[in-house]
Structure 1
C-alpha cells in the first residue's frame, strides 16, 4: 500500500493488532478492523489538492522484496522535480528502486476538472496493483480546506483519508466520500482465512465466485463464508435475505459514509484494481446523478440542504442515472441529487454495491448512514466514532432526547405542527394537533410484543417472527429490547457504549421534530430484523395514518397527510399494484419443426395478482413484469410470494423482495432490501403451511379461514390463531382476487380473531391469512423513464429465471393502451402511450413503446463452445463444471453447439435473452441450415421475442434495461437512430450503444421508418456475438398501410396526423459515392506476426492468433495488395453527410454467401438491409461469384458519425 510517511507507525500498529487477532479463537476479536473503515490507517491512500495548487510528491520505496515502484496520477501533468521532464511511464526517473526516492510535482491548473484520479505504479503494475498498491488523488475546488469529520471539538486538518469534510472555496461545504472498487489479487489469487487456509473459489452457501476477493477500500464482507456461516454454526440455518442487515449481523466492515441530514455530499467513485469491471449502484431512489454532470450548470447536488424536495426539475438535459459501469483506473464524480437524506429528507441507511450479482454477494458493498441527531459521546446511535458537523452547518443538528423529554414540546414538520402531551386523549383536529406521548411513539416503532410469544432471546430468534419487537415502556420512557446475550459478534458489543448484555437501553428522539433518532435498533446476531409499524412502507416519513374516527389505520397514509414532509404530496396521482411472486414453466422460444420449444421449468415471475390466472394460462403473457406510472403519481405496492421452500434453489429458506431504483421512497421500509438497520422488507411464501424436512427457515406464520366470514363481520374463525399478536395487522384473503384486505387484530381467542374494523369482503373457507407481506410506497417525482426493480434476496438465483421487472415513469397525464385494440392496459412490455408531454428533445405527443430487458446468464439458451479449450476435454465434463445452484442448465442433450465456433472464453456461453425470450440461431439452423434465411419469417415464422409495430412516422421509444447479472451488452437497431441523451439536442445520434449491468437508457426514435419513411422489417439485436446467436434479437415492424390490428396513434409526435409520404432512399440531388467491395477468403489472417499461433492463458485454454478460416471485405482495387504481404485492416470507407452511397459487393469466397449492412444509415429494408429479415421481400445476400448493389443515404438528420459495416 501507499501511505504517508508520518503514518507508517500507525499502520504497523494496526497490522500487529490484526496479526494478534488471527491467533485468538472464536469470533469476538476484530483486531484493528473497525466497522465502516472509520478512523483506520490501513486503507488506500487518498490525498488532495486544490485547483490552482502546486503539489509536490516525494515517493520512497520501502517495499521489502526488491520490487521497483512508481506513482502515476492518471490525468495529471506531473513532472520529475530534478529534470522538469514529464513523469510518464517511459521516463525511468519516475521509478524508485528498493530504498530509492523520487520527487515529483504538479501544477494543478485552475481550470482542471474537480474530482478523483486513480494513482498506481507503472512498474510491476498488475502484480502490485492487485495486491493493493493504488490510491486516489482528488482535485478539490479552489481555496478549499479539508477537515477531519470524526471526533469532537474543533476540527483538525485532514492530510489524507477516504472521508473528509471539504470547506468549499467556491460554494457550500460538503462531505466527500471516496469509494474504491477493487479486486483482491488477480482472478487466480486465493485469499486466506485467519487460520491461513485458502478461501473457496465459490461460496458454498451463497454460490458467489471469489468470496472475499471483491472489495471496497481494502475491505470485503462476503455473505456466505462470513456471517451466514456463523449464523448456521450457531442456530442451524442461514438467511441470505438478512445478509446486509446490521440488526442481524452488525455494521459492515467496508466503507460506511456518514452524514447528517441535509449535508451536501459528493462521492468520488474510483476503480483501483486492474482486473474486471464493476457496476456502481447506490440505493435510496433519489441517489441519482446526471450521466454527463457538466452538461448543465444547474447545481442539483445541494438542493436538499433545508428540507424535502418533492418537485425537483422534471427533466434534465443529461439523463439521470443511478448505476454506472466503471473499469480499471476509471473514476466517476457523483454529485448526487439533493444531498444527505436525499430529496425525501430521510434519515436511514442507504446501501451501495457493485451490481454484478456475484460481486456484491462476494463482499463488494457498504451503505451510507444519514443521522438526524448529533453523534457525540453519551448519545450516539451506533458504535462508530463521534462525528462533527460541516463547518458552515454547525448548530443545525441537535442532541437527541429520551421520549419523556418530548412531553410538552411542539414539534414542527416544515409548518405542520404537533404538541406532545402526557395524558388525556389524542386530538388530531386541534391546531396544532394534541398527541399523547404513547400514541406518538407507538406510531413510529415496530408493534410491541414478544416474537413467537417467547421470553428468551433464543426462542424469539428461532420463531422467525418479525411482526413485533420486545420494546417496553418504563413510565414515559421508551426502552429498547434487551441487549443480546447470544453468540460472539466482532462488530458489536453493548459494553462499547456502556451497556450490559440483557440490559435495555433508552430509545432516542430528535427534539425539534419528535422523530425517532436513526438508527434506533442495535445488532442481535442471527435474528430476523423486525417489520415496520403496521407494515408501513414509509414509517419515518409518513408515520401518521388515520381512519375517519382518528384511530390508527392499517392502510398507507393519504397523500399529503403528513404535511410537506409526506413522501407523496397532496393531490398526487395514484397507482396501486398487488404483486405475487410465482414459480411456473416459461417457454423462451417456441417449437419449430422437429426442434422442441426452449422451456425453463423453474421460471420465476412477478405478476399482478388480478392477472395471475391469465399469465399462468398463456405463455404469451409470461414476460418479466412491466408496470407503469406517470410523473407525479404515488405508487402503492403490496408484495407476497408463492415460491415454496425447496432443496435446490433456496435451501429451504425461500424469501424474496422487490428493490426499486430511482423513485423517491422511505428507505427504511420501501427499499426492498433490509440493509443497515432498515426494517424487514422480504417475504416468506404465504402458501406454505408445512415442511417435509426440518431444515432451513421455519414454516411461515400463515393460517386459513375455517368458517365462512361475511362482509361486515368483526370476528373471523381461523386455524392457528394463537400464533398472532394483538395489535398487529394481518392480510386476509392473500390469494383471493375478489377480496383481499388488511385488518388489525384486537383480540385473540382459540381459533378466533377479533378485528378492529368490519370486514370489507366475504371470505370463504380456506381463504389464506398471512403476515408475510410487504408494503412499499414510491413517489414518481421526475421524468426518469425506465426504472429497474428486482429481487434482492436471492438475486443471483432468481434473476436467471425471470425475477426482474420495470416500472416505466411515463409523461405526466399519459394513458397506456393495447396497440392492437386500443384498450387501456396496466402491464406488458409493448404499449401505446397516449400523451401530450415531451418524451425527448423535440419529440412530444403519443408514441409506441417497447420495454427491452437485455439479459445474460440465462441457462436455457447456453451454447457449447469448443474452440480454444483444452484438447480432448469431454463436453459433458466441461458442462458439468459450469452447473451451480444459481445456474441450472438443462440436460446436456438439450444444449446445442454454438453456430459461432470461434467464440472464446469458456466451455459454454452464458445464455442470453430479451424479456426472457430468445430465438436461437442453432434452433433455426437445425430446421433449415441455410444461414441466408436465418432471419426470414417466411421460412421460420416471426421470432419469439417481443415485437414493436408502428406506422411510418410514428415516434418509437425503446426503454432499455440490462436486467441481469454478469456481462455487458450492446443494443443495436437497424435503419433508425436515437439520441444517446434524449433531452440533449447536442447529444450524439446513434443506432447502437453499450450498456452495463443494471444500466438503463430511454431511446427515442423520432420517426418509424427512419427519416426517409421506409416501411418494412428492421433488425433489433444484442451486438455481442454470443448473445446474438443465443437468440437475443427481434424485429421492428414498420407498416406503410393501416391494418385492423394496429390502432393509429392520437396526437402523434410533431403534431402530424396520418402517415408521411415514403421518400426515395437518396434525394435526386444527393452526391453519389460508389464503392466496389469484394468479400474474400483470407486464410493468411495473422493478428500478431511477432507472437506464436496460440497463447495459453489459464486452465489450458488458448487465445488463437492465426485464423485460417478468416474472411474479409476489401476494395476491389486492393485485392492484390492483401494477397501479398500487406496486412489488411478492417475496411473503412467514408462519405459526407448528405451523400448517397452505393456499394457494389462481389462475393469471391469459395462457399459462403455474403451481404453488406450499414445499419446506421438510411436504406430500403426490402433492398439494402443486408439480411433477409422478417417479411421483407428481395434476396439481400450474394452467392459466390455473384454481385449486387446496396444503396444507403447519409441523412443529415442522423448527422456525422461512425457506422459498423458488416
Structure 2
C-alpha cells in the first residue's frame, strides 16, 4: 500500500458526486457537498483513482511555484518516491534557462483558458524573482521572518513585490507575512493567531513500565511550553481549534537542540531547521507550505528563529494534519506532528470538565488560538453542541525502558537511554521498530501480563489504561477526528458497539463500524450516544473498547476506553443537550 499526497490542492474522494471535472476545477468550487474532501489517497496494487484538484492547478487561491507530490509512507518518500508539479505564473515558450543551466520547458496554454502574461524584465516570473544562487540554500520568504522584514538589509525586493498576485479569493495585493505572493484570506475574514514552539523532552508513554522516549519532539503552545517541559502538564499532540472562515496566523519558534539522535533508533545528525506543513487548507506555496521544494524558498525556522505561516479555513474539511517537512524522517516517529479540528463558524470551545471558555483576544485584536485533543463545542443554534475528540495513532515510535522492568535479561541490552524496545538492526534503518501508541500514550499488554488474559482490558483489575479516556453522557453527540501521522503502517480503528456513516455528509453513505487509515489520511466519526438498555434502572456507566485492530496494535498498547455515563453524577463532565450535529443535519 502507498499513500499519495500532493501539496496545496485537495479533491473530492468521489468526483462524480460533485459534478466532475468542469465543476470541481472551477475557482468557484468551495468544497464537496456529499463526498469526503481529501488530499491523501491510500492506493494498493491494481487500484486506481481519479484526482481532480479543487479549483484546478494551484487550487482556488491561485498559488504558483513548485508543488511537491509524494508517497507519505516515510521510508518510501525518503527513498525517492516524489516529484514536482510546477505551476507557472508567466508564459513559458522554451527559450529561458533555469539557474542550473537546464531549459524551462515550453508549455502551451489550453485553448479555452486565458493565457498567462509573457515574462518581462521587472516581472520575470517564477523562479527568476527569487534572489538565490544555484547550489546554495534559498532565502527565507519575504516578511516571514524578522530578518526579511521591511526595515532590514534583506527586505522584500522589487522583483518579489512585482510577483505578488491578486488572489481570486482576496482582492488585495498587499503582501502579508506567510502569504506574501498569494494571500488566500479574504479581507473580511476573522483573524486567529497561534504562538507555538517546537521542543524536545523525555516523554513517558506508559508509567507502569516507565516506557519513555528521551528525544521526544513536539509542537506546543507558548503558554504551555514551560509546564510541559517541567512535567506539570502531560504532553499531548498539538491540536488547534479552528472555525470555518478564519484567517489563521501560525507563529512557529524553533526551540529544538541542533543535535539529534545517537541512540539505538536514530543515527547522530544535525537538525538545524524545523517547519509546519499543513494539509487540506489554503495557503501560498512559496511562503506558507513549510517546505524547501524545487526552486521555492526555504520555509523553515532556524534555531531560535520564529517564522510565520498564514492559512485560510475556507470550508469545513473537518481536520488539518500538519508536520515538519524538513527532517520528517527523523522527526515524525519521534512525535513532531499535530492536527487541527475544524468546526462551524460561530461555535465556541469549552473545557469538558469545567465548562471554561477557551480563547481570548491579543492586544492587536486577533483571536488567541487554543488547542485541545478533547473539547466541548457549543454552537449558536438550538441543539447543536457536541463533544470532539482527536486521536492520533503512532507506529515505529522509538521507546526505551529501565533495565529489569520486564526481565533480568534486560541488563545485556542497556544503553545510555535504557533498554530499547524492538530496536532496528542499525540506527535510522528502515526496519520495523519501536511501539504503537495513541496521543503519546500506550497501554501495552506487557504492563498487564500477570493475571487472567480474559482481564487484559478490565479496569476493575488493572485500573484505566494510560491512553486517552473518552467521556460522554448518553444522548451526547460525538465527533472523533482520527489522524495518522506516524509513521509507515496502516491501522483499522474500531469502536465496539457504535457505528457511523463513512461519508458524514452523504445520506446514502455506508454505515461502518471500523475505519482503515494509512499515513496522513484523516476521518471524522460522527454519532450520538444512547441509553442502549431501555431499562432506566440498568447500568449507569458503560465502557466501550476502542482499538486499532491489529494484534501488534493491541499488544503494544494502541487501545483505550470510551466511557458513557447514564446520568449526570460523578462524571466530572458538563452535560450537553441532545440534538443534531450542525456539521451533519441529515443524521
- The two structures share one fold, judged by TM-score above 0.5: yes
Residue 104 of structure 2 aligns to a residue in which SS? Answer: coil
Q: CA deviation at 1:1054?
A: 6.8
Pairs within 5 Å for 1:536-551? none
Q: 1:302 to 1:1011 in 2, by over 3 A?
A: farther
Task: Find out whether 1:936 has 2:475 as its counterpart.
Answer: no
Alpha-carbon distance between aligned partners in 2 of 1:1019 and 1:566, rounded to the nearest angstrom: 44
Q: 1:1010 to 1:778 in 2, by over 3 A?
A: farther
Q: CA deviation at 1:396?
A: 2.2
Alpha-carbon distance between aligned partners in 1 of 2:309 and 2:202, rounded to the nearest angstrom: 28
Q: 1:984 to 1:615 in 2, by over 3 A?
A: same
Pairs within 5 Å for 1:948-963? 948-963=470-485
Which residue of structure 2 lines up, in the alignment, with residue 1049 of structure 1? 576
Which residue of structure 1 lines up, in the alignment, with residue 25 of structure 2? 302
Alpha-carbon distance between aligned partners in 2 of 1:531 and 1:805, rounded to the nearest angstrom: 23
Residue 333 of structure 2 aligns to a residue in which SS? Answer: helix
Task: Find out whether 1:860 has 2:365 as its counterpart.
Answer: no
Q: 1:377 to 1:935 in 2, by over 3 A?
A: closer
Contact kept? 1:836, 1:1051, Cα under 8 Å: no
Task: Find out whether 1:924 has 2:448 as its counterpart.
Answer: yes
Q: CA deviation at 1:935?
A: 1.2
Q: 1:814 to 1:542 in 2, by over 3 A?
A: farther
Of 911, 914, 918, the residue aligned with 2:435 is 911
Contact kept? 1:519, 1:677, Cα under 8 Å: no
Alpha-carbon distance between aligned partners in 2 of 1:878 and 1:588, rounded to the nearest angstrom: 14
1:370-392 Cα deviation digits (max 9, x unpaired): 11111114456662321211122
Which residue of structure 2 lines up, in the alignment, with residue 975 of structure 1? 497
Of 319, 331, 353, the residue aligned with 2:48 is 331
Alpha-carbon distance between aligned partners in 1 of 2:212 and 2:110, rounded to the nearest angstrom: 57
Contact kept? 2:12, 2:32, Cα under 8 Å: no
Q: What is the number of residues matched between the two proteins? A: 525
Alpha-carbon distance between aligned partners in 2 of 1:959 and 1:1051, rounded to the nearest angstrom: 20
Q: 1:314 to 1:522 in 2, by over 3 A?
A: same
Q: CA deviation at 1:653?
A: 3.8
Contact kept? 1:848, 1:948, Cα under 8 Å: no
Residue 882 of structure 1 aligns to a residue in which SS? Answer: coil
Q: CA deviation at 1:589?
A: 1.2
Which residue of structure 2 lines up, in the alignment, with residue 279 of structure 1? 3
Which residue of structure 1 lines up, in the alignment, with residue 121 of structure 2? 402
Contact kept? 1:662, 1:787, Cα under 8 Å: yes
Alpha-carbon distance between aligned partners in 2 of 1:1022 and 1:1039, rounded to the nearest angstrom: 24
Of 541, 549, 563, the residue aligned with 1:1037 is 563
Of 1012, 1024, 1035, the residue aligned with 2:550 is 1024
Of 319, 324, 328, the residue aligned with 1:795 is 328
Q: 1:933 to 1:786 in 2, by over 3 A?
A: same
Of 657, 663, 673, the residue aligned with 2:291 is 673
Of 110, 116, 137, the residue aligned with 1:528 is 137
Q: 1:289 to 1:1010 in 2, by over 3 A?
A: farther
Task: Find out whether 1:778 has 2:311 as its counterpart.
Answer: yes
Alpha-carbon distance between aligned partners in 2 of 1:795 and 1:1009, rounded to the nearest angstrom: 45
Which residue of structure 2 lines up, in the alignment, with residue 638 of structure 1? 251
Which residue of structure 1 lines up, in the alignment, with residue 372 of structure 2? 828
Which residue of structure 1 lines up, in the alignment, with residue 201 of structure 2? 584
Which residue of structure 2 lines up, in the alignment, with residue 610 of structure 1? 223
Q: 1:887 to 1:361 in 2, by over 3 A?
A: closer
Residue 224 of structure 2 aligns to a residue in which SS? Answer: helix
Of 368, 376, 384, the residue aligned with 2:104 is 384
Q: TM-score, normalised by structure 1?
A: 0.41
Q: CA deviation at 1:634?
A: 0.6
Which residue of structure 2 lines up, in the alignment, with residue 651 of structure 1? 269
Q: CA deviation at 1:620?
A: 5.0
Contact kept? 2:424, 2:433, Cα under 8 Å: no
Q: CA deviation at 1:1021?
A: 0.4
Q: 1:881 to 1:807 in 2, by over 3 A?
A: closer
Contact kept? 1:373, 1:518, Cα under 8 Å: no
Q: CA deviation at 1:997?
A: 1.0
Residue 16 of structure 2 aligns to a residue in which SS? Answer: coil
Q: CA deviation at 1:670?
A: 0.8
Contact kept? 1:970, 1:995, Cα under 8 Å: yes
Which residue of structure 1 lines up, in the alignment, with residue 364 of structure 2? none
Alpha-carbon distance between aligned partners in 1 of 2:378 and 2:554, rounded to the nearest angstrom: 32
Of 82, 94, 100, the residue aligned with 1:365 is 82
Q: 1:652 to 1:313 in 2, by over 3 A?
A: closer
Alpha-carbon distance between aligned partners in 1 of 2:308 and 2:395, rounded to the nearest angstrom: 30
672-681 or 909-918: which moved more?
A: 909-918
Q: 1:337 to 1:880 in 2, by over 3 A?
A: closer
Q: CA deviation at 1:1023?
A: 0.4
Contact kept? 2:277, 2:322, Cα under 8 Å: yes
Contact kept? 1:953, 1:1008, Cα under 8 Å: yes
Q: 1:882 to 1:1012 in 2, by over 3 A?
A: farther
Alpha-carbon distance between aligned partners in 1 of 2:308 and 2:204, rounded to the nearest angstrom: 31
Which residue of structure 2 lines up, in the alignment, with residue 598 of structure 1? 211
Q: CA deviation at 1:283?
A: 0.6
Contact kept? 2:487, 2:519, Cα under 8 Å: yes
Residue 334 of structure 1 aligns to a residue in which SS? Answer: coil
Contact kept? 1:835, 1:1051, Cα under 8 Å: no
Q: 1:821 to 1:579 in 2, by over 3 A?
A: same
1:921-942 Cα deviation digits (max 9, x unpaired): 11111xx321122112122111
Q: TM-score, normalised by structure 2?
A: 0.82
Q: 5+ residue gaps in structure 2?
A: 149-155, 167-173, 359-369, 402-411
Task: Find out whether 1:816 has 2:359 as its counterpart.
Answer: no
Alpha-carbon distance between aligned partners in 2 of 1:820 and 1:988, rounded to the nearest angstrom: 34
Contact kept? 1:282, 1:322, Cα under 8 Å: yes
Q: 1:850 to 1:653 in 2, by over 3 A?
A: closer
Alpha-carbon distance between aligned partners in 1 of 2:564 and 2:128, rounded to the nearest angstrom: 55
Which residue of structure 1 lines up, in the alignment, with residue 367 of structure 2? none
Residue 479 of structure 2 aligns to a residue in which SS? Answer: strand
Q: 5+ residue gaps in structure 1?
A: 1-276, 404-507, 510-515, 545-551, 687-771, 839-843, 863-873, 889-905, 1056-1196, 1199-1206
Alpha-carbon distance between aligned partners in 2 of 1:1012 and 1:861, rounded to the nearest angstrom: 47
Alpha-carbon distance between aligned partners in 1 of 2:453 and 2:423, rounded to the nearest angstrom: 32
Contact kept? 1:914, 1:1032, Cα under 8 Å: yes
Which residue of structure 2 lines up, in the alignment, with residue 622 of structure 1? 235
Task: Find out whether 1:567 has 2:184 as its counterpart.
Answer: yes
Q: 1:566 to 1:600 in 2, by over 3 A?
A: closer
Alpha-carbon distance between aligned partners in 1 of 2:340 and 2:238, rounded to the nearest angstrom: 8
Contact kept? 1:379, 1:399, Cα under 8 Å: no
Alpha-carbon distance between aligned partners in 1 of 2:553 and 2:422, rounded to the nearest angstrom: 21
Residue 668 of structure 1 aligns to a residue in which SS? Answer: coil
Which residue of structure 1 lines up, in the alignment, with residue 63 of structure 2? 346
Q: CA deviation at 1:999?
A: 0.6
Residue 294 of structure 1 aligns to a residue in which SS? Answer: helix
Which residue of structure 1 lines up, in the alignment, with residue 362 of structure 2? none
Q: CA deviation at 1:681?
A: 1.0
Alpha-carbon distance between aligned partners in 2 of 1:879 and 1:832, rounded to the nearest angstrom: 37
Alpha-carbon distance between aligned partners in 1 of 2:62 and 2:488, rounded to the nearest angstrom: 34
Q: Which has the higher contact order (CA 8 A, sep 6+)?
A: 2
1:571-613 Cα deviation digits (max 9, x unpaired): 212210111110111111122xxxx321112111111111111
Q: CA deviation at 1:885?
A: 3.7
Give the superposed CA RMSD. 3.3
1:677-717 Cα deviation digits (max 9, x unpaired): 2111112221xxxxxxxxxxxxxxxxxxxxxxxxxxxxxxx
Contact kept? 1:859, 1:887, Cα under 8 Å: no
Which residue of structure 1 lines up, in the alignment, with residue 524 of structure 2? 1002
1:353-405 Cα deviation digits (max 9, x unpaired): 00011111111111111111111144566623212111223x622211112xx
Which has the greater radius of gyration?
Answer: 1
Q: CA deviation at 1:314?
A: 4.8
Of 957, 971, 990, the residue aligned with 2:512 is 990
Contact kept? 2:164, 2:175, Cα under 8 Å: no
